[in-house]
Amino acid sequence: METIYLDFRNHENGEKKDLTKAVEALQNGELVIMPTETVYGLGADGLQSKAVRKIFEAKGRKQDNPLILHVADRNMIDQVAVVTSQMEEKLIQAFMPGPLTIILQKKECVPDEVTAGNDTVGIRMPSDEIAHQLIQELGRPIAAPSANLSGKPSGTLMEDIDQGLKQKVAVLIDGGQSRIGLESTVVKVIDGIPTILRPGRVTLEEIQKVCGKGEIDSHIFQQIQKQDEKVESPGMKYRHYAPKTKCRMIYSQDPVWMVQGMKSEIQKANQEGKKILVLALSEDLEKYRTEKIEDILDMGKRENLEEVSNRIFTLLRKVDHYGADLVLIEGVRKEELGLAIMNRLIRACEYDYREIEKREE
């Protein structure tokens, strides 16, 4: 199969794109790599079971890991799901279109392949112009997990996406750099309370401001132990966002303590004869220049969490090229967007995470 490449990297806002080939591919049950404001997605017609199965095959994704349906408007939500409460309606009105996925009761037209056998389905309405036009012209929701091999960092640039995966799709739509760089926030209303199952750009604080309440699921910083446990959101159950190279994260609320903890880990790894790569915040780069390490990659400024979120997956994709034995990563504050960044980093490190609560002498 010859893959068609559509280049919209320099498109004008409001400009209508020629997405005919992509729409035809989706109608024919083929896969498309598409941009969204969060990360690139691997898309299929979300109501064609056979097409949806191709997503799992292409990614090497487990069948019990549910997908998200991307819709163009409120009418399309009503075609595939049931809004059962005023709180769900409030979330839809406040955050859609945008980087929020809401878990709703599914309708019979949604294949079990999308929902991993659950009676609920994740619904998102992307704000990205290309994604919106594509869904609108198809006239049906698009099932689209992140365009990566299962367990690996998500793609935020077309050139970041695995070449083997690109060869399994009919059309590549290049929209340039993803604006946000982290997957959507996933929320389910449980006993009347909006509960974040996966953090993203829409923060707990923003949800609480709109809804008057909100909580975080306990699994955000903990690994699910039971492999037969059902999950309603992607990114909860399996190894995710991880490069091949071993990663470890060091965090402290006090930046001085965090740097000290990082240096302690560097020295320990040096004694073990390991080659070390460091991912650090911009303010701390010079503090590691004198250490014996392979290189330092700049995560972005400490107080600019949007910058960090936009860079993190690209950096995680780069680390395997260094041939290091260990990657040491600085954490960010666990507030607002930082909650989502820390969730992704902890999972990239496969829960090898050390929090320093007091000064270590």
pLDDT digits (tens, 9 = 90+) for 254-296: 999 999 999 999 999 999 999 999 999 999 999 999 899 999 9
CA distance 84 to 210: 18
Residue in 163, 167, 202 with CA at minimum distance from that of residue 183: 202
Task: Please give the pLDDT value at position 177.
Answer: 94
- Answer with the residue of higher pLDDT: 77 or 243: 77
Residue burial 285-322, b: 16+ Cβ < 10 Å; e: rest: eebbeeeebbebbebbebeebebbbbbbbbbbbbbeeb
Q: What is the pTM (predicted TM-score) of this model?
A: 0.90
What would the pLDDT profile of 183-207 be if each residue is shown by its tens digit? Answer: 999 999 999 999 999 999 999 999 9
Task: Please give the pLDDT value at position 2.
Answer: 87
* pLDDT at residue 357 tops 60: yes
* pLDDT at residue 39 tops 50: yes
Task: Please give the pLDDT value at position 157.
Answer: 94
* pLDDT at residue 241 tops 60: yes
Average of per-residue pLDDT across 123-146 = 97
Task: Please give the pLDDT value at position 45.
Answer: 98
Task: Identify the architecture of domain 4-221 in CATH.
Answer: Alpha-Beta Complex (3.90)
Task: Identify the architecture of domain 247-355 in CATH.
Answer: 3-Layer(aba) Sandwich (3.40)
Please, which residues have CB within 8 angstroms of residue 253's CB and are 6 or more apart in sequence?
A: 333
* pLDDT at residue 10 tops 90: no
Domains 4-221 and 247-355 equal at CATH topology level: no
Q: Where are the domains of the chain?
A: 4-221, 247-355
In the predicted model, what is the mean pLDDT of the chain? Answer: 93
- Answer with the residue of higher pLDDT: 12 or 321: 321
